Amino acid sequence: YIPEKGLEVLIGIARFWHQRATYTNNKNQYVILGVTGPNEYENNVNNNFYTNYIAKWCINYAVENIEKVKQEFNSDYTRILNKTRLSEAEIKDWKEVADGMYFPYTEEHQVYLQQDGFLDKELIAVSHLDKKQRPINQHWSWDRILRSPYIKQADTLQGFYFFEDHFTTEELERHFDFYEPFTVHESSLSPCVHSIQAAKLDRMEQAYTFYLRTSRLDLDDYNKEVHEGLHITSMAGTWMSIVEGFGGMRVKNDRLVFEPRIPKQWDGYSFKINFRNQVLKVKVSQEGTQFELEGNSELKIMVNGKAVTISPHNLIKV
């Protein structure tokens, strides 16, 4: 797909981010102004960490694939360069933006800031809010919400979710502990990401609490809006909390990786994954984890850092 159609899309995306960034003499870096990040309780902010990180990644990913197509699909490379009028000089300009991207950071807290000026807000934890004022978007004026530190759904932490391998566990823990106390989780998109990250940090009680919130969002009408319809996002988030959170499933280096955990409240859970046209059944209990493969060839996976080879229709216990 990349040499046929995808690279043209990546070039367009890189061009967008290149023109969207602004060079500032004040910082001697590139900034992105006037954006809204994942947090829907913020509008028109400067240097949203998530947005700047996505921009940098998109440019680098485009450059990486341009080089790959050049090496492996040279005729497509020539065709695409002619069609898009792409030059080495333009690619160099992209790299300059990506390499010089600015990310707001506080040495005091040792975390990336959600956006410029976040520390200017009155940083009062969600736990101090009157429960009768929740959800805040049903009780507060919009200007009050914008002046507050409250985060509707994962913002900076959303970046840590997508780019987990770019950060250490210690960095994740610092950012989680800094931002979660200001997060009201008044979006169906929020609890599942926090459940997955809490499980990653081996905080299973917290992970389970967030799992309950995403799985029972509409059943218990947490956000007092179920009359408007059900949230498919929280349904998907329930699956994610179990598979990616408790099951610790990731795909790394084109291989399935698991770090299974289980809440103390449960006897067990199970799920199936269709990976490369083979169905892998995973069953986790308090005693351990079982894997069974429905397929025609063996599958190599990683479980808690150890390589495991599963043969078709053969039950493996770990």
Catalytic residues: 40
**Which of 122, 164, 182, 184 has the alpha carbon at shortest distance from 251?**
164
Given a contact cutoff of 8 angstroms between Cβ atoms, the answer to whether 119 and 95 are in contact is no
